[in-house]
Amino acid sequence: MAICKTCGIKFTPKHSTVEKYHSRKCYWESLKGKRPSYSFPKGGVPWNQGLTLDDPRIALCAEKRKSGRFVSCEVCGRKRYIVTSQLKHGKYCSISCRNVGYKGKSVSTRTQFKKGQVSRIKGTHPSYMQGKNHFNWKGGRTSLKHCLRKTFEYNSWRLSIFLRDKFICQLCGKYSKKDCEADHYPLSFVQIIEKNNITNINQGRLCAHLWDINNGRTLCHDCHTKTPNYFKSNLS
């Protein structure tokens, strides 16, 4: 058993037999009005203020350390202490010096990308990452119209409609780049798919009628929701 020095309550030490306080609250109460022995005096001057790395006292402190040495920056020449494990990468003292040091240097010929070189996978769709072969395949639950709206052809058709109409709603005349939507008109998106018997995404990409800018118009969201074909199709 031990007696708390703050409140006088008897308690059983949990971690050691030298505990003086039975709670953290009592410990902080005991520190009120006391000055920690490790605190730096107000207005005090540190012993190494104004000393450079060439001072023998600084060099002596470096020698007492376990490993490392003083290294000069390759750009500005500033000396700094670096441990042994970082000597290979410690050529520069800062990011700005590193950027200056890298300027004009060429990347390794083994890893650099040649000028004018085209990536071998650009524009390709690897079969091992499509459909049932994809790791996130869930049985083809995504509808055909939803897949077609994520294609490059749909985004290009949509942008062409906006640029032609100058982002102005064709019903109310509202101008907005954030609120505008592309609407298939006079034939709806689903009607074109049913008319051309499109059953998969590849057929949809090759269908020119589906991406005809003459069969489209720019509408704001409010006007688009008032059209009869807005979210009424159940095409799978």
Which amino acid is residue 115, in one-letter code? K
Chain mean pLDDT for the chain: 82
In the chain, where the domains are located: 1-32, 56-99, 144-225
Per-residue pLDDT for 168 more than 80? yes
Write the pLDDT tens digit of every residue in 61-118.
766 665 677 888 889 988 887 877 777 777 888 889 988 988 887 766 666 677 777 7
What are the Cα distances from residue 134, in Å, to 103, 138, 142, 151?
43, 9, 14, 18
- pLDDT bracket for residue 235 (50, 70, 90): very low
Q: How far apart are CA 95 and CA 73, in angstroms?
A: 11
Percentage of the chain beyond pLDDT 70 is 86
Task: Tell if the pTM clears 0.85, that is, is over it.
Answer: no
